[in-house]
Amino acid sequence: MSYKVEAVPDSYAALGEGPHWDVDRQSLYYVDLESAGINRYDFKQNKVYRAKIEGEIFASFILPVENKPQEFAVGCGLRTVIVQWDGVSAVAKVTRTLFEVQPDLKENRLNDAKTDPNGRFYGGTMAASGDIFTQWKGELYSWQAGGQPNAIRSKVGISNGLAWDVKAKKFYFIDTNNHEVLAYDYNQSTGAVSNPKVIFDLRKIRPEGPLFPDGMTVDTEGNIYVATFNGGTVFKVNPSTGKILLEIKIPTTQITSVAFGGPNLDILYVTTANKFDQPKPAGTTFQVTGLNAKGYAGVNLKI
């Protein structure tokens, strides 16, 4: 199979994260996490629009809100807030807080979050200072409109990749510090998850040291795509067997997350980071074509 990796023009983010394909606007939303930056790549215009969220330090994720075209749920510290943005202006504003987690652990912050196929929130926390790869202060949560955050898992190191396969009734989750992908049984009607099992162990891939799994997505055939923060690779994996089907090589090391998008949902968008002075093109968002696979669009958050 021959796939093609190309840079999205002018897509730099020092810590690019959280790609989310919005069908209605044919746009890829993603964040520049440590500068409270939110970005929109307009597919038709082939152009990135950027905004900073006024008064905030972090933007961990960006999720469009159902039926509110200028509202987005964004992770700012330990709060999930509603941000008003027209998708073009250079400034965005917080209008209210949706919910907060771990309010007593000020040294923590929210990390990756997504919506499940029914529009519920799933996401988690991590330590924001010190050696983040050796701390276990995070938690994984779900939340749905009208309710409170529900802790799914405690003693999480870095709460990261999330994906759902409705056909297989599975929810996939990555805690980066465990170097593995978990599969939970997933009840779509209630949102409940249970019976976590390790389905992909990244410790076994490279003898020179363990790879750090980061963001994740799933294709329509049920394969998972796992970004590696220190590996320059996205692994396409069969979650039933744990077998690597393809190694997608990206021309920088710190691969943060992945999402399918484009008009036919057959382009894999890949965000990257430029932490600790990486050489160019670190921090670029890439598009991978020719994978002969399709994924699912992002789902709006119901609030």
Distance from C-alpha of 218 to C-alpha of 296, rounded to nearest angstrom: 8
Expressed in angstroms, the distance from the first to the final Cα of the chain is 42
Residue 223 in marked binding region: no
Average pLDDT for residues 149-155, to the nearest whole number?
Answer: 96
Please give the pLDDT value at position 206: 81
- In this prediction, residue 204 carries a pLDDT of 82
Residue corresponding to tokens 């162990």 = 201
- Mean pLDDT computed over 191-218: 92
pLDDT recorded at residue 53: 98
Quick one: what percent of the chain has pLDDT higher than 90?
A: 96
pLDDT at residue 175 in the model: 97
Average pLDDT over residues 235-242: 97
Structure tokens at 170: 């599975």
| pLDDT for 266 | 98
**Confidence (pLDDT) at 205:** 86
Mean pLDDT, rounded, for 261-280:
96
| pLDDT value for 1 | 65
Span 240-261, average pLDDT: 97
User: In the structure, what pLDDT confidence band is assigned to residue 207 with cuts at 50, 70 and 90?
Assistant: confident
Q: Where are the domains of the chain?
A: 4-289
Q: Is the pLDDT of residue 7 over 90?
A: yes
What mean pLDDT value characterizes the chain?
96
150 is in an annotated binding site: no
**Catalytic residue ranges:** 214
pTM for the whole structure: 0.97
The answer to whether 201 is a known ligand-binding residue is no
Task: Please name the fold of domain 4-289.
Answer: Neuraminidase (2.120.10)
Local confidence band at 105 (pLDDT 50, 70, 90 cut-offs): very high
